[in-house]
Structure 1
Amino acid sequence: MPTCRHTLAGHDGIVTCIDLDFASGRVVSGSSDRTVRVWDGNIGECERVLASHSGSIYCLQLEGERLFTGSQDRTIKHWELSRLPGKEEGAHRRKKTIRDAAQSEQPTGDPCLVNTLTGHTDAVTCLHFDAEYLVSGSADRTLRQWDLKTGECVLQLDAGWAAHGARAPPSNAYTSVSDGFVGALQFWQCALCSGTADGVIRMWDLRTGQTHRTLTGHVGPVNCLQFDERSVVSGGEDGTIRIWDLRTGEVFDTVQFERPVTSLQFDDAKVLCTAGDCEVKIYNRTNFQRSAFRAHREPVSCVRFAGRRVVTGGNDDVVKVWRT
Structure 2
Amino acid sequence: GSMIHCFKDCKRYVSCLQASVDGNLVISGSADQNCYLYDLRSADLITTLKTSLEGELDVNAVTFSPCERYMTCSGEDNKTLVFDRRTYKLLHILSHTRPEAYQAQQGVTSAKWIGGTNLLYTGGEDGVNLWDLESPKPLVNAFKAHKSPVSCLDRSEYFLVSGGDDSLVNIYSDRSCANMC
> Which band: TM-score by shorter chain?
0.7 to 0.9
Q: How much has 1:145 moved relative to structure 2?
A: 0.6
Provide structure 1 residue ranges, at least 5 long, that are not aligned to the other structure.
1-82, 84-110, 169-179, 289-324
The 2-side partners of 1:191 and 1:121 are apart by 25
Change (3 A) 1:129 1:251: same
The 2-side partners of 1:115 and 1:223 are apart by 28
Q: Please tell me whether residue 145 in structure 1 is matched to residue 24 in structure 2.
A: no
Aligned to 1:115: 5
Q: Helix, strand or coil: the match of 2:83?
A: strand
The 2-side partners of 1:251 and 1:190 are apart by 20
Q: Helix, strand or coil: the match of 2:60?
A: strand
Q: How much has 1:277 moved relative to structure 2?
A: 4.8
Change (3 A) 1:150 1:247: closer
Q: How much has 1:279 moved relative to structure 2?
A: 4.4
Provide structure 2 residue ranges, at least 5 long, that are not aligned to the other structure.
99-104
Aligned to 1:243: 130
Counterpart pick for 2:154 among 265, 268, 293: 265
Q: How much has 1:245 moved relative to structure 2?
A: 2.5
RMSD: 2.3
Q: Structure 1 residue runs of 4+, over 4 Å off?
A: none
* Matched letter for residue 29 of structure 2: G
* Matched letter for residue 187 of structure 1: F
Q: How much has 1:251 moved relative to structure 2?
A: 3.2
* Matched letter for residue 137 of structure 1: G
Question: How does the TM-score come out when normalised to structure 2?
Answer: 0.78
User: Highest relative contact order (Cα 8 Å, sep 6+), 1 or 2?
Assistant: 1
The 2-side partners of 1:215 and 1:287 are apart by 20
How many residues of Structure 1 are paired with residues of Structure 2 in the alignment? 162
Aligned to 1:135: 27
The 2-side partners of 1:190 and 1:247 are apart by 12
Taking every aligned residue pair, what percent have the same amino acid on both sides? Answer: 20
The 1-side partners of 2:4 and 2:120 are apart by 33
Superposed CA offset, 1:138-189 (max 9, x none):
11011111110122211111113xx5xx442xxxxxxxxxxx5211110132
Q: How much has 1:239 moved relative to structure 2?
A: 4.2
Q: Helix, strand or coil: the match of 2:10?
A: coil
